[in-house]
Amino acid sequence: MPPKKIRPATAAEVERSISKTGWSAYLYLGAETDVGWKNALLIDDDPGFPKLRVFRVVDLDEVSAWAHGETTGGLVVTDKGKFSTHIGRDRTESLSA
């Protein structure tokens, strides 16, 4: 399977994807070759997360409102973009953590 296209191009795309109540976005901050991104793709393919959109961030400036200075790992953005939680890189590389 070829790698998925990198999303988002802009923060506006993330905001559109979580504009409905109850939807969340997982923003991976890292390279396409990272274990954490491969795990994120598994989550994205899992039908158990129907209201979660997974993105790999290329331009950290696009997500600065949610990143709060973090440059690696993952971010979970909820409540229509008002809140974000950072997940450390070590946890993004482990599906059991």
Is 19 domain-assigned? yes
Over residues 58-74, mean pLDDT: 93
The letter for the amino acid at 35 is V
Answer whether 1's CB lies under 8 Å from 54's CB: no
Is 5 domain-assigned? no
Structural domain for 69, as ranges: 11-92
Rounding to the nearest 10 degrees, give the CA dihedral for residues 46, 2, 62, 73.
60
Over residues 28-38, mean pLDDT: 93
Is 2 domain-assigned? no
Over residues 43-64, mean pLDDT: 91
Q: Where residue 19 falls among pLDDT bands split at 50, 70, 90?
A: very high
Q: Summarize pLDDT for 77-94 with one digit per residue, the tens.
A: 999 889 999 999 999 999
| CATH number of the domain encompassing residue 52 | 3.40.30
Is 4 domain-assigned? no
Is 6 domain-assigned? no
- pTM (two decimals): 0.87
Report the number of distinct structural domains present in the chain: 1
Q: Where residue 2 falls among pLDDT bands split at 50, 70, 90?
A: very low
Average model confidence (pLDDT) for the chain? 88
The phi, psi pair for 76, rounded to 5°, reads -105, 120
Q: What is the pLDDT of residue 4?
A: 53
Is 77 domain-assigned? yes
Is 87 domain-assigned? yes
